[in-house]
Chain A
Amino acid sequence: MAPAEIRNAIIDILGDIAPDEDLSDLKDEVSFRDQLELDSMDFLDIVMELRKRYRVQVPEEDYPNLDSMHSTVTYLTPKMVDCVAT
């Protein structure tokens, strides 16, 4: 998957976790925690959704990489290069 496709995949996951949230003006550089007030349970869900949907493993020590959209896409790009967009 290309970075733009990974971004869409993350938007899909966030939309699934927080269906009441308007994600159209999500700022890529601002942390999810500050914009969406996601807590640790939600971050675990992002990790588990990535595993469920794309078989991507994110080890616990890498969780800080999932801080914002920008850092998440940067971190996932090499890991998801062989994944197919759904």
Chain B
Amino acid sequence: MYDTIIIGAGMSGLAAGIRLAHYDQKVCILEKHYTIGGLNSFYRMNGRDYDVGLHAVTNFTAKGAKKGPLARILRQLRFKWDDFALAPQKGSRIAFPGHNLRFDNDLELLRSEVRREFPNNVDEFDQLVAKISDYDDLDQESFELSGRKILNETISEPLLIEMILCPLMWYGNAAEHDMAWGQFCIMFRSIFLEGFARPYKGVRLILKNLVKRFRSLGGELKLRSGVKTIHVDQKQAVNIELDDGTELQGKRILSSAGRLETLRLCSDSSEPDPRTAGQLTFIESISVLDRQPETLGNEDTIVFYNDSEKFHWERPTEDLCDLRTGVVCSPNNYIYPDESGKLPEGVIRITTIADFDRWNGLSEEEYRLAKLKWYDRSVAASVNFTPDFRSYVIDTDVFTPTTIKRFTWHDNGAVYGAPDKVLDGTTHLDNVFLCGTDQGFVGIIGAMMSGISMANAHCLRA
């Protein structure tokens, strides 16, 4: 009998596992995939290491900072700041036709860029920042207000609104078109008030440290252990049946599988309404270059681009992908410490919005061709906003919505889960709780915070 069974060995499940094992609980983490990490996993191909989700760790605060989610999760998980070896970004950019807003890990740069591009609106921008600072983290009612409505009331320049929304939606909005005010505040803080960073070795360094710690505390991790059914008796989960028929018992279950995905596992639930599932998923076109991006004049860590004055955040309706907006990430463009130096090869990663159903419906041959075709198209769209790198590419890879589904198990490969978040993590069962993207926090630090806070609230205080 376990004290807690955790579903999913992503950032939230591993962080929750560490908390519980630290306080002497008997804990088991079940992972359906053959590897850990969920959305923030990694893989190796043609002798090269790749990350799945990671462009940047958001919520970065420098060593010595005592406030903010990074400092908090380090204390909660008993890690030193150096354990995550986060190197800050050089600087990023929001690129719309004829307009650029640069930003880095100091709000002052963004503010001066707003003043340069939109001199009449800088006071309104300051008012927005003030509203965000007032916002209280976990109040469901204010969380669900329309972000666009509050932005429209605060800022009179529509283009500035679209430019601010673009990176925040790209890095953490599960809903189409609009963004919940709470999610907007969380993302604004994590990107503009805190910032971007990356470990030289990528996400595997963070995952390795989490797993090592979890195991050293006596936690069990079972890979290739998908959950088939959560057997329910009178509002209580009584045991878990795995795909291979093994049965496990736990006093409580903490699931990062997603809200709908978890409900569907419960023996007492009928098929949940699929319309409430998340719709936003991506393809990622990765290019390995024979030189560093900076030698091509590319000094940007991340570029969020959009090809018109109106930013469209929605599932593609016409084709496999929507090329109007995208993200260019150059992992080389972080300020790595001298002892590690530059990354050995240049890398450019381009993210493009995609339609899960269309990708999922392709035959094997069509899928192979679609990857080639949409790699070319995505790269061609991106070089309107970043120096053209196409002559220097020595290797490529593309991952798609079906890849993301394999790693995350989310319906539709929805990167940020379902639009309706369950901030208190409760379900219709007394001893089953949610953590991870569907609880409300996204990003690497956010996911860990979700695992920690749900473990504290539902599994440690009980």
Contact = CB atoms under 8 A, between A and B. Distances in A.
Interface stretch (B64-72, B395-403, B427-435): B64-72
Given A20-B80, A20-B81, A48 B23 contact: yes
Interface in B64-106: 64, 66-67, 72, 74-76, 78-81
A30 interface: no
A28 B190 CA distance: 34
Bin the interface of chain B by size: 10 to 19
B24 A17 contact: no
Nearest to B79: A19
A78 B74 CA distance: 32
A77 to B, nearest CB: 25
B456 A42 contact: no
A17 B24 CA distance: 16
B85 to A, nearest CB: 14
B310 interface: no
A12 interface: no
Contact of B67 (A19, A37, A48): A37
Contact of B76 (A20, A37, A45): A45
A85 interface: no
Interface string A18-48: 1110000000000000001101011011001
B460 interface: yes
Contacts of B63: 20
Bin the interface of chain A by size: 10 to 19
Contacts of A16: 78
A19 B72 contact: no
Contact of B23 (A20, A39, A41, A52): A52
Contact of A19 (B23, B80, B453): B80
Contacts of B81: 20
Contacts of B79: 19
A39 B69 CA distance: 11
B75 A17 contact: yes
B76 A39 contact: no
A34 B63 CA distance: 18
Given A20-B63, A48-B23, A52-B24, A41 B76 contact: yes
Contact of A20 (B64, B67, B72, B456): B64
Contacts of A39: 72
B66 A37 contact: yes
Contacts of B76: 41, 45
B7 to A, nearest CB: 24
Interface string B420-459: 0000000000000000000000000000000001001000
B84 to A, nearest CB: 12
A45 B74 CA distance: 13
Contact of B78 (A17, A36, A37, A48): A17
Interface in B180-201: none
Given A19-B78, A39-B72, 17 more contacts: A16-B78, A19-B79, A19-B80, A20-B64, A20-B80, A36-B66, A37-B66, A41-B72, A41-B75, A41-B76, A41-B453, A41-B456, A45-B75, A45-B76, A48-B460, A52-B23, A52-B24
Top 9 A-B pairs, shortest CB-CB distance: A37-B66, A19-B80, A17-B75, A20-B81, A18-B75, A20-B80, A42-B75, A16-B78, A48-B23
5 contacts: A16-B78, A19-B80, A20-B74, A20-B81, A45-B76
